[in-house]
A and B are shown apart, each in its own frame.
Chain A
Amino acid sequence: MSKTVTLAHGAGGRQTSELIHEVFAAHFANPLFTADDAAVLEVEAGRLAMSTDGFIVSPYEFPGGNVGKLSICGTVNDLACMGAEPLYLTCAFVIEEGFPMDKLEEIAAAMEKTAAEAGVRIVAGDTKVAGKGQVDGVFITTTGIGRIKEGVRTGGALARPGDAVIVTGDVGRHGCTILLARNEYGIEADVDSDCAPLWGAVDSVLSAADDVHVIRDATRGGVGTVLYEIAEQSNVGVRINAESVPVDGAVRGVCGMLGLEPLYLACEGRLVIIAPGEEADKIVEVLRQGKYTAGAAVIGEITDELPGKVVMTTEIGAETLLPQPGGELLPRIC
């Protein structure tokens, strides 16, 4: 096969079939991966969750993962947030002409590995090739279906005063990793993306706790954005303790140099979990035994004050609003 992806690979002919067989089918092989127009699936009766997401990241590989791993984690985690065990996934690729074939292989391999870990099967796919410059490297869209665990009902509108606010690990590492990987600011730090599939963690929390109200994946916009979304959807106040928010030292250093706030940096493997206060210790304890959630911590609580707002208790014991996130994340220097 050629060393780069060409427009012919997207033309539907022999090269397309070669690309699909040698790269995708080779990695995604499972009895359900279809060669037909659609995959045919058996599903047990019950409630299903379904989600779709597009993945564009520059650079497409970074410490701790690549766009392939990200495309599986993102959708698997979205399903997990609804209490759904991920079952099936489809993926659509838009590949830039000239993209190196070996890199495409690496991306497919990462997808296979992550899907296997998350227990999800890739059942259908699509490949398009766009002309040079029309896309940046490779864009992947994944769509997933999951089976919601019996008796589980989670949602952004279900937070109640008295609930505890938990994060499953240190915040902002993915965003910081990407910022560094772009190498625009000449800063180096030993930071890996937190990108990880989290169904296992969610499953263990749902098994251990009697009641969980909200689980949300803190991706774009970071934990700060998620807290505002929940405050608004549930019409409650959120109070967090600034000093309880776990932040990796190097992430803090990078943020310090560039005047950024870690609470607004993206995560790809961090959940915000909101559950009745009396469940908090149990949940944190279970999470701390998990592979990707050892840094879990309670960072605050849900209140009935200032609905829709996030209030922060600061290191001098004063209260202030957490600024509403928004706009392009730009370094503040002068």
Chain B
Amino acid sequence: MNDILLYSLIVLGVLGGILAVILYIVAQKFKVEENPLIDEVESNLSGANCGGCGFAGCRAFAEACVKSAADKNSLAGLNCTSSDMSKVAAVLGLTVTAEEPKIAVVRCSGTCENAPKKTHYEGADICAFAHTLFAGGSGCPNACLGLGDCVKKCAFDAIHVDPVLGIAVVDEDKCVGCGTCTKACPRGIIEIRPKGKNNRRIYVSCVNVEKGAITMKNCKVGCIGCQKCLKECPFEAIEMRGTLAYINPDKCKQCRKCVDVCPRGSILAVNFPPRKPKVEVKEEVNNESKE
């Protein structure tokens, strides 16, 4: 009995030793030389492999960063979130001019209150499927279906379907603007826009291209293409896409004139401080001049 135990120990031990030596030799012979910087750069990235940078995952992006730093001594053309880029630049001993941060914007305000559901959907919880099946609960063929294809695709847990509102809502702190959700949405509702100065943004929260009369039946806040904002804008930042207004974020100076003039409340101004009523402002000015 003891013999068997002993023999097997010896045989396996010797075998293990020989194989270990072979493995060591092979590992030495076929060793891949890799820049240790790549690992360091990668550890500074989020590791979500969102693909927003255009590379196949964070590792590939780190490799590209190290290569670019060695060849061109710059990180031009390589984009991740601004905080991550500054970290990467520090590791590589470079400086980056901060790209304007971007964020995903859900261009639909068809909440349960604004666009009441006329029909009840039961079935597979896939927006892409429901989109082929019917126009949507409110009847608007461009509205957020609220089944969460974008939620499933988001690697940063930054977008959720609000159970009360019934539409997708972006978490401003978590969103990095990678654009995965824009591809997931079958109706093209989500857009990547610059985060804006002080996190303030103005956008048309609607992508509906139907005629005004039909839109009015379906939704309280849908864009009807009245062009009032177009006429009001002093910076020519608004363009009409059929019966839908679109605000060009590069031209918009955030004056909020379009928000005031919109009869439907389709244009949203986010993170602005509440305005003082106009009358009061005038009075103050008058008082000052009197004094």
Same complex: no
